[in-house]
């Protein structure tokens, strides 16, 4: 009886190990498929988050620059130059965190690429524009090109934010 018990447990172990050998590659295949899915999800989150973060920062910087323009005394000599200098300084401080490639594309040397435009002098409107020209040709995170889908993420060629204030 003890011999029969030993044989039956040996047979059960043999059948179990034979079943496991059939499944030995399944875990690797499942892991590879899950890796592709999770990597795609992670890449989508990161590649969409960076332009959205930059656009939010551009809007904030343009709005802050426009608000800073209100604080310049209108009786100052070269009023438009003083306003432009103050706006560019504020925008430059707020966007100082950008990586070097983006920093030079958005701000330029001495923040000169920040557009400060005075509309008709009678209206007293000031428009502050912060832009990343050609973002899709020189992105911070590479844009993937899929057949049948196209670019991921799909973005406009330029990232632009504007703020308008009445002086």
The pLDDT tens digits for 98-115 are: 998 889 999 988 888 998
In a domain, 130, yes or no: yes
In a domain, 21, yes or no: no
In a domain, 116, yes or no: yes
Cα separation, 99 vs 102, whole angstroms: 5
What does pTM read for this prediction? Answer: 0.76
Total domains in the fold of the chain: 1
Do 59 and 161 form a contact (C-beta atoms < 8 A)? Answer: yes
Of 18-27, 48-57, 89-98, 134-143, least confident by mean pLDDT is 18-27
What's CA 117's distance to the chain center, in Å?
27
In a domain, 89, yes or no: yes
Quickly state the pLDDT bin for 141 (edges 50, 70, 90).
Answer: confident
In a domain, 138, yes or no: yes
pLDDT, tens digit (0-9, with 9 covering 90-100), for 13-33: 665 555 556 666 778 888 888
Residue range(s) defining the domain that contains residue 100 = 49-166
In a domain, 37, yes or no: no
In a domain, 33, yes or no: no
In a domain, 68, yes or no: yes
């Amino acid at each position: 009886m003890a011999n029969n018990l030993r044989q039956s447990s040996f047979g059960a172990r043999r059948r179990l190990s034979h079943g496991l050998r059939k499944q030995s590659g399944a875990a690797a295949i499942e892991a590879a498929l899950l890796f592709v899915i999770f990597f795609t999800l992670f890449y989508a989150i990161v590649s969409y988050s960076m332009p959205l973060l930059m656009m939010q920062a551009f809007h904030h910087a343009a709005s802050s620059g426009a608000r800073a323009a209100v604080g310049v005394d209108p009786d100052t000599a070269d009023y438009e130059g003083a306003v432009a200098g103050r706006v560019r300084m504020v925008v430059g401080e707020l966007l100082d965190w950008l990586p070097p490639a983006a920093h030079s594309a958005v701000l330029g040397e001495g923040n000169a690429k920040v557009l400060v435009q005075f509309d008709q002098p009678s209206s007293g409107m000031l428009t502050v524009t912060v832009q990343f020209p050609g973002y899709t040709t020189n992105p911070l995170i590479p844009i993937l090109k899929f057949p049948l889908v196209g670019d991921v993420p799909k973005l406009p060629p330029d990232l632009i934010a504007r703020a308008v204030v009445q002086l």
